[in-house]
């Protein structure tokens, strides 16, 4: 989720914008339609006035039609047509009114006026894309078609809404297109981080993303040159060290004094071991990809580690199911297990180490006192608890480096009088 935070933010902004625009246009559509209907509904006043004149003189039907025709109004008299329209038409607006008419009455005292209150119901209908007014009075009903009025049309607002919707969507599409190179750049960075040093970040873009990509390309070039120089330096210096060490061992073998001979041989053996461990650390740090990682049976790797440690088989108790397999670099993982066997035997009180598999983790248990310092102290290079011991302090550091290359970590616990070192699964990164 967090990996796509920017993209999700953009999509959320797009969604909010489109919803907001849609709501605004919907509200505007409803308001505009209501205002339009209210405006054309006022036409009923004119129709009512003409119809009242007709009611006062019902015999003048021709006059009624003529007066209505002046305003493009056409009465509908056919009963079936009227019933069909009233049944199927959509009622746009309907209101009831009270009208006051003055009528002349003749009595013995003479002529006088009398106000008469009447109920009036006016309905505005829509049928077949035409506007009709249906007027109901106590004296009769009439349906009139207005030829000049048309129902409210949504197309102008819909066109405007579609235009705004398209502009917003297209704008966000362009933004996403501008962000697309970031996805490519991220993938290249991940590839570079996994060890593919040949990845190129160079681009011809001149925008901010292009500047970042080209800056990364400059950094990649410098890092590659530094790594090449470092590797060349280490390989040369280790090669040059091996020659005088070999000559020193030959010279030491010629000494007649047995005590001096053994002392010098021990020194040169330790120096040779140190150079080999440095070479191994360099190899671990230069593991670029998983091409050399294959699936092996764990018992086969442990057998190879025991052979490499050159210890008696009886001093190592192995309790590993034969079907347990792991994906690893055989030489590196074997070296890590070999170092743990060496440490287990060297620092145990009985000279034995037990290797077992529990909870999908490889464990090394040996009897002895609990280590004095936290495990982190012993993982640091050139750290050793007892200077008198034959140790350079690189053993656990090398083990930790190999495990990291295999996405594992070295853990420790003390239980039942035993130091237990564990090849544990590395915690997942957030």
**Residue 419 in contact with residue 370, Cβ under 8 Å?**
yes
Residue 31: pLDDT band with limits 50, 70, 90: very high
pLDDT at 390: 46
pLDDT at 387: 44
Q: Rounded to an integer, what distance in angstroms lies between the CA atom of residue 192 and that of residue 23?
A: 47
Return the domain boundaries, the chain: 2-38+155-182, 42-146, 208-283, 290-425
Residue 23: pLDDT band with limits 50, 70, 90: very high
The domain made up of 290-425 is a member of CATH 3.40.50.300: no
Q: Rounded to an integer, what distance in angstroms lies between the CA atom of residue 233 and that of residue 231?
A: 5
Paired tokens of 17: 């914008």
**Residue 371 in contact with residue 424, Cβ under 8 Å?**
no
How far apart, in Å, are the Cα atoms of 224 and each of 43, 50, 216? 85, 96, 12
Q: Which of 206-210, 223-227, 278-282, 336-340 has the lowest mean pLDDT?
A: 278-282
Q: Rounded to an integer, what distance in angstroms lies between the CA atom of residue 290 and that of residue 427?
A: 19
Give the predicted TM-score (pTM) of the model. Answer: 0.50
Name the percent of the chain lying above pLDDT 90: 23
**What's the rounded mean pLDDT across residues 289-309?**
84
Q: Which of 14-28, 328-342, 382-396 has the lowest mean pLDDT?
A: 382-396
pLDDT at 340: 92
pLDDT in tens, 412-427: 999 999 999 999 988 7
**Residue 185 in contact with residue 201, Cβ under 8 Å?**
yes
Residue 317 CB partners (closer than 8 Å, separation 6+): 352, 353, 354, 355
Whether 37 shows a pLDDT value over 80: the answer reads yes
Residue 273: pLDDT band with limits 50, 70, 90: confident
Q: What is the mean pLDDT of the chain?
A: 82
Name the percent of the chain lying above pLDDT 70: 86
How far apart, in Å, are the Cα atoms of 260 and each of 135, 254, 266? 131, 11, 10
Tell which residue, 47, 211, 244, 276, has the closest CA to residue 142: 47
How far apart, in Å, are the Cα atoms of 109 and each of 105, 106, 116, 195? 10, 8, 20, 119
Whether 89 shows a pLDDT value over 50: the answer reads yes
pLDDT at 392: 46
Tell which residue, 141, 39, 124, 41, has the closest CA to residue 90: 124
Residue 67 CB partners (closer than 8 Å, separation 6+): 50, 53, 54
**What's the rounded mean pLDDT across residues 81-91?**
90
Distance, CA of 198 to chain centre: 28
Residue 386: pLDDT band with limits 50, 70, 90: low
Residue 50: pLDDT band with limits 50, 70, 90: confident
Q: According to the 3-state scheme, what is the secondary structure of the chain? A: CHHHHHHHHHHHHHHHHHHHHHHHHHHHHHHHHHHHHHHHHCHHHHHHHHHHHHHHCCCCHHHHHHHHHHCCEEEECCHHHHHHHHHHCEEEEEEEEEEEEEEEEEECCEEEEEEEEEEEEEEEEEECCEEEEEEEECCEEEEEEECCCCCCCCHHHHHHHHHHHHHHHHHHHHHHHHHHHHHHHHHHHHHHHCCCCCCCCCCCCCCHHHHHHHHHHHHHHHHHHHHHHHHHHHHHHHHHHHHHHHHHHHHHHCCCCHHHHHHHHHHHHHHHHHHHHHHHHHHHHCCCCCCCCEEEEHHHHHHHHHHHHCCCHHHEEEECCCCCEEEECHHHHHHHHHHHHHHHHHHCCCCCEEEEEECCEEEEEEECCCCCCCHHHHHCCCCCCCCCCCCCCCHHHHHHHHHHHCCEEEEEEEECCEEEEEEEECCCCC
Residue 102: pLDDT band with limits 50, 70, 90: low
- Between 2 and 94, residue with greater pLDDT: 94
**What's the rounded mean pLDDT across residues 345-358?**
91
Rg, Å, the chain Cα set: 48
Tell which residue, 373, 405, 379, has the closest CA to residue 393: 379
User: What own/partner pairs with CB < 8 Å and gap ≥ 24 does 265-272 have?
Assistant: 270/390, 270/392, 271/241, 271/245, 272/242, 272/245
pLDDT in tens, 163-212: 999 998 888 888 888 777 887 888 888 887 777 777 888 888 777 888 88
Q: Rounded to an integer, what distance in angstroms lies between the CA atom of residue 24 and that of residue 43?
A: 30
**What's the rounded mean pLDDT across residues 372-376?**
87
pLDDT in tens, 133-154: 998 877 678 898 988 888 888 8
pLDDT at 296: 93
pLDDT at 388: 42
**What's the rounded mean pLDDT across residues 104-121?**
58
**What's the rounded mean pLDDT across residues 18-37?**
91
Whether 356 shows a pLDDT value over 60: the answer reads yes
pLDDT at 198: 79
């Amino acid at each position: 989720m967090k990996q796509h935070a920017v993209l999700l933010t953009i999509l959320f902004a797009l969604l909010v914008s489109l919803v907001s625009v849609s709501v605004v246009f919907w509200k505007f559509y409803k308001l505009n339609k209501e205002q339009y209907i209210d405006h054309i509904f006022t036409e009923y006043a004119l129709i009512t006035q003409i119809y009242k004149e007709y009611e006062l003189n019902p015999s003048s039907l021709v006059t009624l039609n003529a007066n209505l025709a002046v305003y493009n109004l056409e009465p509908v008299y056919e009963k079936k047509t009227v019933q069909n329209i009233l049944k199927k038409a959509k009622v746009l607006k309907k209101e009831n009114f009270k009208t006051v008419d003055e009528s002349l009455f003749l009595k013995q005292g003479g002529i006088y006026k009398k106000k008469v209150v009447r109920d009036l119901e006016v309905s505005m209908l829509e049928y077949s894309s035409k506007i009709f007014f249906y007027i109901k009075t106590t004296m009769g009903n009439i349906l009139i078609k207005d030829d000049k009025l048309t129902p409210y049309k949504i197309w102008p607002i819909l066109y405007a809404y579609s235009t705004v919707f398209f502009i917003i969507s297209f704008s966000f599409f362009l933004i996403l297109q501008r962000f697309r190179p970031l996805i490519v750049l991220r993938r290249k960075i991940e590839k570079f981080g996994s060890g593919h040093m040949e990845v190129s970040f160079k681009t011809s873009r001149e925008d901010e993303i292009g500047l970042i990509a080209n800056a990364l390309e400059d950094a990649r070039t410098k890092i590659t040159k530094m790594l090449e120089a470092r590797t060349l330096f280490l390989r040369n210096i280790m090669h040059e060290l091996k020659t005088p060490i070999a000559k020193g061992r030959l010279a030491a073998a010629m000494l007649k004094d047995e005590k001096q001979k053994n002392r010098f041989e021990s020194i040169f053996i330790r120096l040779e071991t140190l150079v080999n461990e440095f070479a191994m650390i360099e190899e671990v740090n230069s593991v670029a990809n998983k091409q050399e990682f294959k699936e092996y049976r764990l018992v086969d790797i442990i057998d190879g580690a025991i052979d490499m440690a050159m210890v008696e088989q009886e001093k190592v108790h192995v309790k590993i199911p034969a079907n347990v397999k792991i994906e690893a670099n055989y030489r590196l993982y074997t070296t890590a297990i070999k170092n743990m066997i060496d440490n287990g035997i060297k620092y145990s009180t009985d000279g034995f180490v037990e290797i077992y598999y529990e909870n999908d983790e490889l464990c090394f248990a040996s009897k002895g006192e609990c280590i004095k310092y936290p495990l982190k102290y012993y993982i640091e290079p050139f750290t050793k608890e007892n200077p008198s011991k034959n140790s350079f302090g690189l053993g656990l550091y090398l083990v930790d480096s190999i495990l990291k290359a295999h996405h594992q970590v070295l853990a420790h616990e003390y239980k039942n009088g035993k130091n237990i070192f564990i090849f544990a699964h590395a915690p997942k990164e957030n």
